[in-house]
Structure 1
Amino acid sequence: MLLNGDAAMADDGMVTGMSRRERRDVPAAVESAKAPAEVQGFRAWSKGRPFIGSAMVAVSGIEMFFSGQLDIGHLHVQLGIEGLQATIIPIALLLLGVLAMTMPDHHVFYGVLAIVVGLYSLVGVNLGGFFIGMLLSVVGGILVTAWMGGARKNAGVAVEDSP
């Protein structure tokens, strides 16, 4: 496969035996041409929205939901008014993650709400899902809020100087 340090083509069409710097110089069109149409469609869809931050917020909601339903021996770990907060907060975070992913125009609103709800989960849901869910939701909310997708769309538009 690899002789004398030369790059060779693997069976799947990927270039192997290259350093990271050399792989970086390979045009993206060459690599993406080998990807199936579904993968290319998903890449195009996910580039136009705060995907990573939204996924982190949604995963934090799922993590908090399961941490709020823990049963350790005879000790049922749950805080809040009869467990209502331990159900509503994770559902709200999951909904905020899905909404930020599907409606990226309102990413600042959803990101700020995810940060606030994630911080409140420290009190309302078992120390914010034992700190893991809280950290995921706060970091994900920051990523959603700081997403600059709208600026890239308008970057090519020239702004006229007013007299």
Structure 2
Amino acid sequence: MRDSAANGQPTDEREAADQEATVQKTSLLALSRRSRRADEQSDSSESGVETAEFAVPAPEAGDADSSEGAEMSERAEKRQGFKHWRRQRPFIGGVLAVLGGIELFFSGQLDLGNMQIQFGIEGLQATVLPIAIVVLALLSIFRPTHHVFYGIIALVLAVYSLIGVNLGGFIIGMLLSSIGAILIVAWMGPRGPKESEAAEGETA
């Protein structure tokens, strides 16, 4: 009996020691897990703050679409306004006459070193005729009520440039000015929106 009691005491002590060791191990594992979780949470919070600080707000798709739509509508309004303004005056004829007058002006100013090209009568008319044609063409565009008067004078000056300004600016300036003046004279007056739409429908 004494032997069994003596043998039983150390086994109980060993069991108690083993239990304490397991409890310590489990507590250490729990502490290590808690510390890892705390570290992970702190890292995630820091990264979230950094991303929030350096994040650039992206533009919303709705705002971009609305701004693009506004720009497109403004462009369309400008085009419609220019078309309406152009239909109220002899625009194409005036532009051609202006181009012809510019060509006449520069054809009378040819200077190749020591040689100056001048086929017509020398004097102010090599400068005055082109400027007069350009002024008449601009007047017909911006003052279309007297387009016939401006067109006839521009046509006379364009034909006279054949004699007065280097064979009419080597015939190119005379042709441009003459065609532009004829279109200015032949202009039928301003067209309303209904007439212009009907004419476009017929041509289509």
TM-score, with length taken from structure 1: 0.68
Please name the residue that 1:94 is paired with. 134
Counterparts of 1:115-126 in structure 2, within 5 Å, are 115-126=155-166
The amino acid that maps onto 2:122 is: I
Please name the residue that 2:182 is paired with. 142
Please name the residue that 1:104 is paired with. 144
1:75 and 2:115 aligned? yes
Rounded to whole Å, the distance in 2 between the matches of 1:37 and 1:97 is 27
- The one of 156, 167, 174 equivalent to 1:127 is 167
- What are structure 1's unaligned runs of at least 5 residues? 1-32, 157-163
**Moved >3 Å (runs of 4+):** none
1:85 and 2:94 aligned? no
The amino acid that maps onto 1:63 is: E
Matched position secondary structure for 1:80:
coil
Instruction: Report how many aligned residue pairs link the two structures.
Output: 122
Higher helix share: 2
Matched position secondary structure for 1:141:
helix
Rounded to whole Å, the distance in 2 between the matches of 1:48 and 1:35 is 20
Structure whose alpha-carbon radius of gyration is higher: 2
Please name the residue that 1:160 is paired with. none
Please name the residue that 2:7 is paired with. none
Rounded to whole Å, the distance in 2 between the matches of 1:92 and 1:45 is 24
The amino acid that maps onto 1:65 is: F
Please name the residue that 1:114 is paired with. 154
| Cα offset, 1:73, TM superposition | 4.1
Q: CA RMSD in A?
A: 2.2
| Cα offset, 1:40, TM superposition | 1.6
TM-score, with length taken from structure 2: 0.55
Rounded to whole Å, the distance in 2 between the matches of 1:38 and 1:67 is 36
Counterparts of 1:6-85 in structure 2, within 5 Å, are 35-78=75-118, 79-82=120-123, 84-85=124-125
Rounded to whole Å, the distance in 2 between the matches of 1:115 and 1:73 is 34
| Cα offset, 1:41, TM superposition | 1.3
- What are structure 2's unaligned runs of at least 5 residues? 1-72, 196-204
| Cα offset, 1:35, TM superposition | 4.5
| Cα offset, 1:42, TM superposition | 1.1
Rounded to whole Å, the distance in 1 between the matches of 2:78 and 2:170 is 37
| Cα offset, 1:36, TM superposition | 2.8
The amino acid that maps onto 2:152 is: V
